[in-house]
Amino acid sequence: MPSLAGKTLFITGASLGIGLAIALRAARDGANIVVAAKTVEPHPKLPGTIYTAADEIEAAGGHALPLVLDLRYEDQIAHALTEAVRCFGGIDILVNNASAISLTSTLDTSARRFDLMMSVNVRGTFLTSQLCLPHLMRARAPHILMLAPPISLQPKWLAPHLAYTIAKYGMSLCVLGMAEEFRHALWPRTAIATAALNLIPDADPTHARKPEIVADAAWHILTSNQPSPSGKFFIDEEVLTAAGIIDFSDYGISPAAPLQHRFLYRLAVRPRARLLNDIPAQMKRRSDRKANGISRTLENVGEQIVMNEVRLQAQARMLEEVKVRSSAETVKRLPVGLLP
């Protein structure tokens, strides 16, 4: 049976949320987990520290090493990696999970918040991957897993929270750019009920799933014996479906509540209908879009016809004026004796 027993996972942001869920899933196999996060004291709105996470990992059957790490500082990243290797003898898997989030519009995003997201999401992910590579190259089956979305350049996905999208796409570009070094990306299909979700205005955890769905998907990716191309973007639900898991009800916070799609979910590829019941609704949407398109086309044609008529009338008036001016000039040039 596939297992992460004996493997060492270096997980950024593992003190809570999805990072902690991935750590606990690996811990059940007996894996070594480096809890690399900056939370030492409990946050009023984000409960959990690197030490409480380490206790949970140990209780689940794993071996934990809590390390203070602020991804904005290169020296802290290098020190944490050195300590991880000293404690466990090496690193097999890097999970770039930590990121800063601010789902704000351009006008509402401060320079400080913008810099934070770029420093943590883009720079922190790049530097952690870069500094971890020498250790990963010594492992038998190394992996780097990014919690990052597929990339789409459709403006409608950029507009609601441009700064955050740029920062997350920076992580996605690390996946594509470092594809020769076994990188993959994982992204949830729906919103995930983490403590961070409570900080987002109007976000309702009852319409989300538990972090365990991402953790189980990560486990299947990291333990798969099937060769797969590097630089691949995975969606949690698709990974589990491929593994034979089709009932996701246990992952739901409230089974009766409709699920909210994750921010930036499936931007690169349009979601396809998974159930036969989805097909009629999808066909209706396509029909509505086609009807709207035809309506807009007819409106444009009507407007064009009106504009053409206006132009023709203007040209006719100009011709009349030219004729009048030409007649007057002709009369002026006639000899006086020939005038009527």
**Residues 209-216: what's their mean pLDDT?**
90
Q: Which of the residue ranges 13-27, 71-85, 168-182, 299-313 would you say has the lowest mean pLDDT?
A: 299-313
For residue 47, the model assigns a pLDDT of 81
Query: Does residue 2 belong to any structural domain of this protein?
Result: no
Number of folded domains in the chain? 2
Burial degree of 77 (CB within 10 A; 0-12, 13-18, 19+) = buried
Query: Does residue 147 belong to any structural domain of this protein?
Result: yes
**Dist. CA 167–CA 233, nearest whole Å:** 17
**pLDDT higher than 80, residue 256:** no
Across 96-110, 195-209, 234-248, the highest mean pLDDT is recorded for: 96-110
- 246 & 187 share domain: yes
**Residues 100-115: what's their mean pLDDT?**
94
Q: Over the stretch 6-35, which tens digit does the pLDDT of each residue have?
A: 999 999 999 999 999 999 999 999 999 999
- 196 & 299 share domain: no
Question: With bands split at pLDDT 50, 70 and 90, how would you rate the model's confidence at 184?
Answer: low
For residue 263, the model assigns a pLDDT of 53
Query: Does residue 137 belong to any structural domain of this protein?
Result: yes
**pLDDT higher than 50, residue 267:** no
- 49 & 122 share domain: yes
- 184 & 317 share domain: no
Query: Does residue 272 belong to any structural domain of this protein?
Result: no
Query: Does residue 258 belong to any structural domain of this protein?
Result: no
Sheet holding 93-96, edge to edge: 63-68, 32-37, 8-12, 93-96, 143-147, 183-187, 232-235
**Residues 241-250: what's their mean pLDDT?**
89
- 46 & 137 share domain: yes
Name the region of 81 (left: φ>0; alpha: ψ -120 to 50; beta: rest): alpha
Q: What are phi and psi of 65, to 5 degrees?
A: -130, 105
**Dist. CA 234–CA 231, nearest whole Å:** 10
**pLDDT higher than 50, residue 234:** yes
**pLDDT higher than 80, residue 194:** no
Across 81-90, 146-155, 280-289, the highest mean pLDDT is recorded for: 81-90
**Dist. CA 110–CA 116, nearest whole Å:** 10
Query: Does residue 257 belong to any structural domain of this protein?
Result: no
For residue 340, the model assigns a pLDDT of 45
Q: Over the stretch 43-83, which tens digit does the pLDDT of each residue have?
A: 887 788 999 999 999 999 999 999 999 999 999 999 999 99
> What pTM value is reported for the model?
0.69
**pLDDT higher than 50, residue 321:** yes
For residue 272, the model assigns a pLDDT of 31
Task: Decide if 51 is catalytic.
Answer: no
Amino acid of residue 252: G
**pLDDT higher than 70, residue 196:** no
Question: With bands split at pLDDT 50, 70 and 90, how would you rate the model's confidence at 274?
Answer: very low
For residue 154, the model assigns a pLDDT of 85
**pLDDT higher than 70, residue 282:** no
- 215 & 308 share domain: no
Q: Structural domain of residue 321, as residue ranges?
A: 278-336
CATH number at residue 219: 3.40.50.720
For residue 203, the model assigns a pLDDT of 67
For 5-25, give one letter per residue: b (16+ CB within 10 A) or e: eebbbbbbbbbbbbbbbbbbb
**pLDDT higher than 50, residue 135:** yes
For residue 206, the model assigns a pLDDT of 79
For residue 278, the model assigns a pLDDT of 43
For residue 7, the model assigns a pLDDT of 96
Query: Which among 121, 89, 113 has a CA at the least distance from the CA of 10?
Result: 89
User: Annotated catalytic residue: which of 73, 164, 251, 265?
Assistant: 164
User: Which of 209, 232, 251 is the C-terminal boundary of a domain?
Assistant: 251
Which CA distances in Å does 168 have to 81, 194, 232? Answer: 23, 18, 16
